[in-house]
Every structure is written in C-alpha cells, then in structure tokens.
Amino acid sequence: NAGVTQTPKFQVLKTGQSMTLQCAQDMNHNSMYWYRQDPGMGLRLIYYSASEGTTDKGEVPNGYNVSRLNKREFSLRLESAAPSQTSVYFCASSGRGAPYNEQFFGPGTRLTVL
C-alpha cells in the first residue's frame, strides 16, 4: 500500500498562474482533507470531503477549489496563484479502519508563488 500520495512534490509559480495539486489514497477511506502549513500556524484546513461527491470549506478556503474525482482522488486547484499561497500543502485521509478519525498524511507539496 502506498498510503496517501501527492504530486508534485515541489512547484514554483508566477503570480496569476494556475495549477492543480493531486492527491490519491489507496486505503479505501471515505474522508479526505487538504491542509496548508505555514510557520507558527500549525496545519490549517482548506477544504475537506467527507465522502465521494461531497466537499466543504474549511478554515482557509479563499483562493482554492477542490474536486473529489472519485473515492481515491481529491484535487486542490489554485485558479490564480498569489504570493500569500506560498506554503506547504498536505493531503490527508481518514475512514473505516482508522479509529476515531485518525488521519494519514501524504508527503506534502512545497509551493512557491513569485
């Protein structure tokens, strides 16, 4: 089992460019999450998907969109990147077999917006 995978690992964008961060899990989990991590801020939830076909905003959704393509995949899109979106992005999943909503994290995507 690969667990949670994310692509790309690193990305540099110019202000105004768009990109999609991909996430996939092979644990048959229902729920998937996108977080951003900034120094001194811990992990902040951007969007989550409680099950296939549903998505909801988290704490910091502005400037992002998501798609839950199927049970395995949950993508995060930046339509017009801004320097404030420079961050490390983590995808996570949780669900059946993971007690009390324990989350499993991907390796992260380090994004720099110039």
Partner 1 sequence: ILNVEQSPQSLHVQEGDSTNFTCSFPSSNFYALHWYRWETAKSPEALFVMTLNGDEKKKGRISATLNTKEGYSYLYIKGSQPEDSATYLCAFNDDNQGGKLIFGQGTELSVKP
Separation between Cα atoms, residue 98 and residue 35, nearest integer Å:
19
26 contributes a contact to partner 1 by CB under 8 A: no
| Four-point Cα dihedral 39, 90, 35, 8, nearest 10 | 100
Separation between Cα atoms, residue 1 and residue 21, nearest integer Å:
21
Choices 13-21, 67-75, 78-86, 100-108 (CB under 8 A): range interacting with partner 1:
100-108
Look up residue 6 and give its amino acid: Q
Q: What binding mask, one character per residue, do residues 30-69 give for partner 1 by CB under 8 A, x or -?
A: -x-x-x----xxxxxx--x-x-------x-----------
Residues that bind partner 1 (CB under 8 A): 4, 31, 33, 35, 40-45, 48, 50, 58, 90, 94-95, 99-108
